[in-house]
Amino acid sequence: MNQKLIICVIGLPGAGKSLFCSVSNELGFSIINMGDQVRKKIKKQGLSNDAETLSKMMIKLRKENGRSAIADMCIPIIKKSQNKHIIIDGIRNIEEIKQFQKIGKVISILIINTTERRMNFLIDRGRKDAPLDKKSFKKRDEKEINIGLEKVMKIADIKINNNRLTKEEFKIKSKQILLKLIKK
């Protein structure tokens, strides 16, 4: 079978998607971050790389080019990749998953964590789009859910609860799941 394995990582901001992706990278997966595709657009237009601009651009792209717009931006990257194992970080709706299913075998993995832990992870990460307070964090979650994330979360093939795991435990669990998927 020459088909690419495309693992779509799903979760609210700060759930542990980036850490999952770093484990995947160590195992030789190619990582494509959908948010980075949006950030490239923002940079190209000379706009500020903050959470509000990122959110507005994400919504604008989907409004102008359809709900799978950001997935469509990733497809040429996947097709060019020599790697048969791809991680897509940042799935937001079912239409995106359907686009990826056209070019490979898709497995969706949901990473779950509490609001408090997620917020702390984002603050510790120190990116420009980190939440300033609980109110702005909740507003960001609502935007993500309204885009369609909640529906995608419900249909995930695999769920990882990162709520009570240490960083090391989460890395071990992620590695076990990835190795099992590679062997299939």
Task: List the alpha helices (DSSP H) in the chain.
Answer: 17-26, 34-44, 51-65, 69-80, 94-101, 115-125, 134-144, 150-154, 167-183
pLDDT, position 127: 67
Annotation: CATH topology of 4-183: Rossmann fold (3.40.50)
Residues of the chain with pLDDT under 70: 1-2, 127-131
Burial class (CB in 10 A: 0-12, 13-18, 19+), 111: buried
User: Cα 117 vs. chain centroid, distance in angstroms?
Assistant: 17
Are the C-beta atoms of residues 137 and 115 closer than 8 Å to each other?
A: yes
Amino acid at site 25: N
Distance CA 99, CA 28 (A): 23
Give pTM, 2 decimals.
0.89
Nearest C-alpha neighbor of 92 from the set 132, 59, 118? 59
Are the C-beta atoms of residues 85 and 180 closer than 8 Å to each other?
A: no
Which helix (H) or strand (E) is 89 found in, with range?
A: strand 85-89
pLDDT, position 82: 95
Are the C-beta atoms of residues 32 and 83 closer than 8 Å to each other?
A: no
At residue 13, the 3 state secondary structure works out as coil
Per-residue pLDDT of 13-66, as tens digits, reads 889 999 999 999 999 999 999 989 999 999 999 998 887 888 889 889 999 999
Give me the residue spans of the domains in the chain. Answer: 4-183
pLDDT, position 1: 45
Averaged pLDDT score across all residues of the chain: 91
pLDDT, position 65: 96
